[in-house]
């Protein structure tokens, strides 16, 4: 069966329980669901963060995340994979991103969930700007994120 793939880019918050349920196709094929939820940190590189602004490239964002999900479904036998990513103005503690994967066995679910998150960090066109007591500034990309994504290319 073809994996069910879905991408949502939205300003509104999301409900973890509803999202987890959306991965289950009711055919009792799912052996497991692996999920990752990202939250806005209250500090970054020792700077306080009061507001996080997320800019994105409408159209390319959805398209690039879907391409990541398609690649994950080619690499592992997945039943469903879904990404929800928020944009706009967020505060520390807010949910920012959710990745969920269902599969017959845990190995595929764990690996695909990590792969999707690692690729999303380096391929999906989002840009973070932090506001805090020391003013505002654009967040720099981390080499460690590129290295994590490259690790998957080596395993191809």
Q: From the list 49, 69, 85, 112, which residue makes contact with other proteins (rule: CB under 8 A)?
A: 85
Query: Judged by CB under 8 A, does residue 41 bind other proteins?
Result: no
Q: From the list 21, 138, 150, 151, which residue makes contact with other proteins (rule: CB under 8 A)?
A: 138
Query: Judged by CB under 8 A, does residue 57 bind other proteins?
Result: yes
Query: Judged by CB under 8 A, does residue 54 bind other proteins?
Result: yes
Q: What is the DSSP string of the chain?
A: -PPEEEEEEESS---HHHHHHHT--SSS---EEEEEEEE--SEETTEE-SEEEEEE-TTHHHHHHHHHHHHHHHHS-EEEEEEEEE-EEE-TT-EEEEEEEEESSHHHHHHHHHHHHHHHHHHS-EEEEEEETTEEEEPPPPHHHHHHHHHHHHT-
Query: Judged by CB under 8 A, does residue 82 bind other proteins?
Result: no
Q: Which part of the chain contacts other proteins (CB under 8 A), choosing from 14-22, 25-33, 57-65, 69-77? A: 57-65
Query: Judged by CB under 8 A, does residue 125 bind other proteins?
Result: yes
């Amino acid at each position: 069966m073809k994996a069910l793939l879905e991408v949502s880019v939205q300003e509104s918050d999301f409900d973890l329980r509803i999202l987890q349920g959306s991965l289950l196709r009711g055919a009792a094929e799912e052996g497991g669901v692996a999920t990752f939820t990202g939250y806005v940190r209250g500090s970054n590189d020792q700077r306080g963060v009061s507001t996080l602004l997320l800019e994105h490239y409408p159209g390319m964002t959805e398209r690039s995340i879907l391409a990541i999900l398609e690649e994950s479904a080619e690499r592992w036998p997945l039943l469903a994979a879904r990404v929800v990513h928020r944009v706009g103005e967020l505060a520390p503690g807010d949910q920012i991103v959710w990745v969920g994967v269902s599969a017959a066995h845990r190995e595929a679910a764990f690996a695909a969930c990590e792969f999707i998150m690692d690729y999303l960090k380096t391929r999906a066109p989002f840009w973070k700007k932090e506001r805090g007591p020391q003013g505002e500034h654009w967040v720099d990309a981390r080499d460690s994120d590129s290295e994590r994504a490259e690790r998957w290319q080596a395993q191809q």
